[in-house]
Structure 1
Amino acid sequence: MYSNDFEEIYNQYSDKVYSYLFLLVKNKELAEDLTQETFYKAYKKRNTFKSESNISTWLIKIGRNLTYDFFRRKKLLKFLPIEKYQEKSIYNETPPEILIKGEEVEMVYRAINSLKLEYQEVIILRKIKEFSIKETSTILGWSEVRVKNTTVRAIAALRKNLSEKGAAFDENFIEIG
Structure 2
Amino acid sequence: MKKEIEDYYQKYGQKVYAYLISLTRAPDIAQDLTQETFLQALRSLDKFNNKCSVCTWLCQIAKNLWFKELKRCKYHPSAYCEPDMNALDISIVPPDEQTESADTKMYILKQIHELPEREKEIILLRATGAMTFEEIGQLFGKNGSWARVTYYRAKQKLRKE
Please report the TM-score for the alignment, with normalisation by the length of structure 1: 0.66
Partner Cα separation in structure 2 for residue 39 and residue 45 of structure 1: 10
User: 1:94 deviation in Å?
Assistant: 3.1
User: 1:11 deviation in Å?
Assistant: 1.7
CA contact 2:15–2:131 (8 Å) conserved in 1? no
Local SS of the residue matching 2:74: coil
User: 1:136 deviation in Å?
Assistant: 2.2
Local SS of the residue matching 2:82: coil
Unmatched 5+ residue regions in structure 2?
none
What value does the CA root-mean-square deviation take over the aligned residues? 3.1
The equivalent residue for 1:88 is 82
Q: 1:94 to 1:132 in 2, by over 3 A?
A: closer
User: 1:53 deviation in Å?
Assistant: 1.9
Partner Cα separation in structure 1 for residue 88 and residue 8 of structure 2: 32
The equivalent residue for 1:97 is 90
- The answer to whether 1:24 aligns with 2:17 is no
The equivalent residue for 2:118 is 118
The equivalent residue for 1:132 is 133
Amino acid at match of 2:123: I
User: 1:31 deviation in Å?
Assistant: 0.8
Deviations 1:79-134 (A, max 9, x none): xxxxxxx743422x43852547x84994685243443422210212345323234x
For residues 29-108 of structure 1, the aligned pairs below 5 Å read: 29-75=28-74, 87-91=81-85, 93-94=86-87, 97=90, 99=92, 103=101, 106=105
Q: 1:18 to 1:108 in 2, by over 3 A?
A: farther
Amino acid at match of 2:154: A
Partner Cα separation in structure 2 for residue 20 and residue 52 of structure 1: 20
Relative contact order, higher structure (CA 8 A, sep 6+): 2
Local SS of the residue matching 2:64: helix
Q: 1:126 to 1:3 in 2, by over 3 A?
A: same
Amino acid at match of 2:82: K
Deviations 1:2-44 (A, max 9, x none): 2122212112211111111011111122111111111011111
**Which segment is superposed worse, 4-13 or 112-121?**
112-121
Partner Cα separation in structure 2 for residue 57 and residue 15 of structure 1: 13
Amino acid at match of 1:17: V
Query: How many pairs were matched up?
Result: 147
**Which segment is superposed worse, 18-27 or 109-118?**
109-118
Aligned identity (percent) is 29
Amino acid at match of 1:125: L
Partner Cα separation in structure 1 for residue 131 and residue 112 of structure 2: 16
Higher helix proportion (structure 1 or 2): 2
